[in-house]
Amino acid sequence: MRLSYYGIGKGDMMRKLFGFTAAGVLALFCSGCTGPEPQYRTTATIKDVMDSIVDPNADFLWKAVSTESGAKGIVEHAPQNDDDWKELRRHAIALMEATNTLQIPLRLVAKPGEKSENPEVELSPEVIKTLIDSDRASWIKHNHTLHDATAAMLTAIEAKNTNGVLDAGDSIDKACEACHMQYWYPEKRKVK
């Protein structure tokens, strides 16, 4: 018996329905084969992030409030106006966000084949990567410590508190040094 609806027989309709269902299941199955696109695209290495974001911003923050003794005598440095404080704030934000960038999984320590600049003191990028990968919790903790020290700097900046900036700068220095002692030049720790 033929169905009069669009002139399609019952057997033809069942074959088409089965074909569409099978095609749908196959499409769903194959879509899972390739997996989702990675959430992050880690183009820069940890060394790149340190050289391009962490170091220049930390240096700017450390120099913002300082005392210098030289040929001109003692020279005090501190933000003088709202624009100076805004600039200091931009550097603090960049440093804080760098700590998140450094935590992105699968980021290389250095470019493939890149060597330590001072191999007699510094660990190789391969060893650093092994240390990070073997204890991600410590890596994340070091990044959070730097983030928190920089957040204290941001609080001092927003309050226009030069003493707070100095204190936070010291905390940032300690956070950086603690991380370097674990991942960059741990042999110095043994010497002390």
We report the CATH number of the domain holding residue 77 as: 1.20.120.10
Assess whether 10 and 94 both reside in one domain: no
| Cβ neighbours of residue 128 closer than 8 Å, sequence gap 6 or more | 46, 109, 183, 184
pLDDT at 186: 73
Place of tokens 């030049």: 185
Cα 162–Cα 164–Cα 170 angle in degrees, nearest 5: 110
pLDDT at 192: 45
Identity of residue 45: T
Place of tokens 């204290």: 152
Give the torsion through C-alpha atoms of 50, 52, 53, 56, to 10 deg: 100
pLDDT at 4: 46
- The range of the structural domain enclosing residue 17 comes to 1-36
Cα 103–Cα 104–Cα 110 angle in degrees, nearest 5: 85
Assess whether 30 and 67 both reside in one domain: no
Assess whether 94 and 143 both reside in one domain: yes
Assess whether 108 and 22 both reside in one domain: no
pLDDT at 119: 85
Q: What is the CA radius of gyration of the chain?
A: 28
Long-range own/partner contacts, residues 78-82 (CB < 8 A, 24 or more apart):
78/162, 79/160, 79/162
The candidate with the shortest Cα–Cα distance to 146, out of 64, 47, 50, 48, is 50
Residues 136-156 have pLDDT tens digits of: 999 999 999 999 999 999 999
User: What does pLDDT average to over the chain?
Assistant: 86
Assess whether 14 and 100 both reside in one domain: no
Residues 60-98 have pLDDT tens digits of: 999 999 888 888 889 899 999 999 999 999 999 999 999
Helix (H, G, I), strand (E, B) or coil at 67: strand
The candidate with the shortest Cα–Cα distance to 182, out of 124, 146, 151, 142, is 142
Asked whether residue 112 carries a pLDDT value surpassing 50, the answer given is yes
User: What's the pTM?
Assistant: 0.77
Assess whether 30 and 74 both reside in one domain: no
Would residue 41 count as lying in a domain? no
Assess whether 79 and 18 both reside in one domain: no
Would residue 149 count as lying in a domain? yes
Per the structure, the count of domains in the chain is 2
Cα 177–Cα 62–Cα 109 angle in degrees, nearest 5: 40
Assess whether 27 and 114 both reside in one domain: no
pLDDT at 14: 56
